[in-house]
Amino acid sequence: MTELDPVIHAQARLRVTATLATLADGDRMTFPRLQEALGMTAGNLSTHLRKLEDAGYVAITKTHQRRTPVTYVELTRTGRRAFEDYTETLRTLLSPPVDEEVGS
């Protein structure tokens, strides 16, 4: 039986990954916008982003706009592929088994 990726499978990380996967490849989202979209606290989101970053699934970029610090979050190619694999595995697990003896 195929296993679901445990890094993505945690509910909060699945929500983060699914949200970032809606962006075009190479696009990114600011940390506050992601936090608002998910309704998570900054600390909780940071903890889950760290796990995803350690797995190579997200990239965090810290920069400044004028004097204001801005943090961007984006799904990496590895993360996008992992999410695609996760959703495919989930579809497989949810699909009813095909009876090979049709008409018996």
From CA 24, how far away is CA 27, in angstroms rounded? 5
Percentage of the chain exceeding pLDDT 70? 92
Determine contact, residues 14/8, Cβ cutoff 8 Å: yes
Q: What is the mean pLDDT of the chain?
A: 92
User: What digits encode the pLDDT tens for the residues 21-47?
Assistant: 999 999 999 999 999 999 999 999 999
Whether residue 40 is contained in a domain is answered as: yes
Domain carrying residue 76? 6-91
Exposure string for 73-85, b = 16+ CB within 10 A, e = fewer: bbbbeebbebbee
Answer whether 0.75 is exceeded by the pTM: yes
Whether residue 77 is contained in a domain is answered as: yes
Whether residue 23 is contained in a domain is answered as: yes
Residue 52: give its domain's CATH number: 1.10.10.10
Instruction: Calculate the CA 60 to chain-centre distance.
Output: 13
Q: What is the pLDDT of residue 86?
A: 97
Whether residue 79 is contained in a domain is answered as: yes
Q: What is the pLDDT of residue 1?
A: 55
Backbone angles phi, psi at 56, to 5 degrees: 85, 15
| Terminal Cα distance for the chain, rounded | 26
